[in-house]
Amino acid sequence: MRRIKCLLIIALMLVFNVTTNAQEKKNFELSDIYEVPTFQTKGVKGMNPMRNGTTYGTIENGEFNIYEYKTGKKSGTLFRFSELIPEGQNEAIRPYNYTLSDDESKVLFLTNVNYIYRHSFTADYYVYDLASKTLKPLSANGSQRLATFSPDATKVAFMRDNNLFIKDLASGNETQFTDDGLYNHIINGAPDWVYEEEFSFSLGYFWSPDSKKIAFYKFDESKVKEFQMEEFIGLEPAYPDWYSFKYPKAGDDNSVVEVYVYDLESGKTTKMDTGEETDIYLPRMKWTKNENVLAIQRLNRHQNHLEILAADATTGETHVFYDETNPYYIDITDDWTFLDDGKSFLMTSERSGYNHIYLCRLDGSESKALTSGDWDVTRIYGFDGKEIYFQAAKNSPIERQIYAVNMKGSMRTIINKVGTNNARFNNSFKYLININSTATQPYLYELYTNKGKLMRVLEDNHELLERLNAYNISEKQFIKISDPAFTMPDGSTVEIDGWQILPPDFDASKKYPVLIYVYGGPGHQTVMNQWDHSDWDWMQLLAQRGIISVSINNRGSGAQGQEFKKMTYLELGKYETEDMITLAKYMAKQPYVNPDKIAIYGWSYGGFMAANGITKGADVISTAVSVAPVTNWRFYDNVYTERYMRTPQENPTGYDDNSPVSNTALIKGNYLLCHGSGDDNVHYQNAMELIKSMIANNVQFDLMIYPNKNHGIYGGYEEFGDGECRMHLFTKIDNFLFRHLLEK
């Protein structure tokens, strides 16, 4: 009897297992993407290389622990968050972020962060002394910005109310060394809106290596026109508020930018001579290895002539030691490094037609190319005295690998793994943490030596892969598309990289609708062999509903040389739109595609492209979704726009011929326009002007506005309790797409 019972149990277990294995896999839901982070990857947080070059610090379980690179063993604890109790208080602060001093004797913590724009913010800073284990507020006179230790860790500089201050940590004295800062007029030590957004920096002052001087930017934005945004603040007060800030649109005046050096010992401030012409940009500055010489980059307004000035920090006198011109424009990066010999520096340039590394001399003599070939260097990590470590798209435009090159130009491969590789080197460059991913492999964190030897795996995201096994997953298939329309300025044709995601139950005998995913902006790539975030998740959801997603690296995208990237010069939207139309026609010819159900979706520059798709591509694209689109480049900031278009006064047809505002009469299909009214980047004005044009041409459309939301359209509204605008936005987009692509 017992044997029969056992056999019955085994039989039931077998039936249960078969039933379980045969169960249908789960479908993706919007809530998995935007409410509960079901598919969120794990990272390795706080991998802070320590100055000894053999250890790193990481945050775990409320502690900052120290580990050996070589063995992986824990060697100590630098501090515990429970210890971060300000003097005279009983509770520990909750830090938003931290910075170690160069000598690792102190830590700057910041709390109560309030964002100004996308990168800049005010905060309350605290200084923690690791020896005495005391935590003191940096200043009692109001919140601060951009606090940094001096190299010798005896002082902290910071910004408040557009002025600069220094706190002496031994005496506690606070010294203000600028006094003309004024909102919407003068900024000391930080960039204005357009520099922050388009030259990608928020810190506008720099300690000299000997801690005796501070070089800083002064922005006079008094002549820059103001942009006003209406803020809807609830039932009381009944009147909306207004926020006004300086935003220079294409063709308009910029801030007048100057560079000064403050000498801490003498208290003297000296202006650096950057030339008589003020309608220019000073997008970077950096101290050289000479403690009295400051290097300042000077870029003309057309952004096709870059000079680097050597400035005497005591006298302000300058001379040019680097001079480069380009027939199109020059991209500003942080890939410039001064060498310890005091005579040389490293610089990347596209002068050969591809982005490569050059060894240059401070005396202005001829530079030497250290890398060469028909491929682009995409990032420099640093120099250890013998070799330069860098990332490049050498194997493929849609992949990135890690390399090293010496001063003689001898190059070697460090990480050659398939996919996209990003490196975090330690201070001595003996070790690196490589972050690898592919279209099917989430982020893989591995520790290597600089010779490419794998030491150990830190995180492989196996839990996410196991979780995804329970879901219907459609593989991202990489494709190459050839078409006579993909021509270069010299008349040659190119193959375009792309991908497509088919439904998980794909049946080649059926006809499917298609969604073109587009960004399209200069240098940007939507096709990369790497792990994607929410866009990939969302396209899995679309695939489950029977919608094919597809994307290409259009002409104008990056990692394929200068001519490919810069052929859109003076005509943003022309060639990119032609490529999207060519893609739509290519898909329409596929036997498994319904040619009457082709849509396009994009955000920001992609929103501009989607609007162009439903206008100029109306014969083949029937449905479009634009989120936060530029609708005429006259409405966008001058640094970005003029880099690619020059001014509207010089190039009016370039601005208007490819503007959706000029072409709404061409719309035949279904169009959804979404925008945040608090978008400080791509202003709500863009949507309003497009709406006016569509009304004038009697074009029907769908519209969704998110009050007070910025370019990212995140978060909810406090007056209505918890909420998530991204969930609302994509519910709106999904319903729109399902209605027009799936319903007969």
User: What are the tens digits of pLDDT across the range 105-139?
Assistant: 999 999 999 998 878 899 999 999 999 999 999 99
Residues 269, 160: Cα–Cα separation, whole Å: 18
**Residues forming beta bridges with residue 602, ordered by sequence position:** 626
Q: What is the pLDDT of residues 341-362, one digit of tens each?
A: 999 999 999 999 999 999 999 9
Buried (b) or exposed (e) across 97-126, using 16+ Cβ within 10 A? ebebbeeeebbbbbbeeeeebeebbbbbbb
Where along the chain do its domains lie?
177-325, 484-741
Average the pLDDT over 493-503 and give the result: 97
Q: What is the Cα Rg of the chain in Å?
A: 28
Residues 178, 194: Cα–Cα separation, whole Å: 22
Residue 14 has pLDDT above 70, yes or no: no
Identical fold for domains 177-325 and 484-741, yes or no, is no
Question: What pLDDT band is residue 46 in, cutting at 50, 70 and 90?
Answer: low
Length of the chain: 744
Residue 22 has pLDDT above 50, yes or no: no
* % of the chain with per-residue pLDDT over 90: 88
Residue 21 has pLDDT above 80, yes or no: no
Question: What pLDDT band is residue 61 in, cutting at 50, 70 and 90?
Answer: confident
Kind and range of the H or E run holding 422: strand 420-425
DSSP, residue by residue, 80-143 = EGGG---TT-SS----SEEEE-TTSSEEEEEEEEEESSSS-EEEEEEEEETTTTEEEES-SSS-
Average the pLDDT over 411-433 and give the result: 96
Question: What pLDDT band is residue 657 in, cutting at 50, 70 and 90?
Answer: very high
Residue 198 has pLDDT above 50, yes or no: yes
Token pair of 201 as six digits: 């920096």
Q: What is the pTM of this model?
A: 0.94
What's the gap between Cα 706 and its chain centre? 23
Q: What is the pLDDT of residues 664-677, one digit of tens each?
A: 999 999 999 999 99
Q: Which of 86-100, 136-150, 194-208 has the lowest average pLDDT?
A: 86-100
Higher-confidence residue of 559 and 533: namely 559
How many CA atoms does the CB half-sphere of 652 hold within 13 Å? 1
The verdict on whether 711 is a catalytic residue reads: yes
Average the pLDDT over 233-245 and give the result: 89
Q: What is the pLDDT of residue 130?
A: 96
Q: What is the pLDDT of residue 193?
A: 97
Place of tokens 């056999």: 7
Task: List the alpha helices (DSSP H) in 184-247.
Answer: 193-198
Sequence-separated (6 or more) residues with CB below 8 Å from residue 520: 554, 556, 557, 576, 580, 602, 605, 606, 608, 609
* % of the chain with per-residue pLDDT over 70: 97
The mean predicted confidence, pLDDT, of the chain is 94
Question: What pLDDT band is residue 267 in, cutting at 50, 70 and 90?
Answer: very high
Residue 390 has pLDDT above 90, yes or no: yes
Average the pLDDT over 584-609 and give the result: 98
Q: What is the pLDDT of residue 162?
A: 98
Residue 10 has pLDDT above 50, yes or no: no
Kind and range of the H or E run holding 695: helix 684-696
Q: Do the beta carbons of residue 334 and residue 346 sit within 8 Å? A: no
The verdict on whether 662 is a catalytic residue reads: no
Higher-confidence residue of 304 and 46: namely 304
Q: What is the pLDDT of residues 612-630, one digit of tens each?
A: 999 999 999 999 999 999 9
Residue ranges of E strands in 339-419? 344-349, 356-361, 368-369, 377-383, 387-392, 401-406, 411-415
Q: Which of 44-53, 392-401, 678-687 has the lowest average pLDDT?
A: 44-53
Q: Of 356, 683, 711, 740, which is the active-site residue? A: 711
Q: What is the pLDDT of residue 12?
A: 38
Residue 18 has pLDDT above 60, yes or no: no
Question: What pLDDT band is residue 88 in, cutting at 50, 70 and 90?
Answer: confident
Average the pLDDT over 506-522 and give the result: 97
Q: Of 101, 679, 683, 693, which is the active-site residue? A: 679
The verdict on whether 683 is a catalytic residue reads: no
Residue 708 has pLDDT above 50, yes or no: yes
Average the pLDDT over 707-718 and give the result: 91
Residue 3 has pLDDT above 50, yes or no: no
Q: Of 604, 622, 659, 677, which is the active-site residue? A: 604
Average the pLDDT over 37-65 and give the result: 88
Question: What pLDDT band is residue 717 in, cutting at 50, 70 and 90?
Answer: confident
CATH topology of domain 177-325: Methanol Dehydrogenase; Chain A (2.140.10)
CATH 3.40.50.1820 fits 484-741, yes or no: yes
How many CA atoms does the CB half-sphere of 270 hold within 13 Å? 20
Q: What is the pLDDT of residue 23?
A: 59
Sequence-separated (6 or more) residues with CB below 8 Å from residue 700: none
**Residues forming beta bridges with residue 114, ordered by sequence position:** 122
Residue 6 has pLDDT above 80, yes or no: no
Residue 520 has pLDDT above 50, yes or no: yes
Residues 108, 86: Cα–Cα separation, whole Å: 13
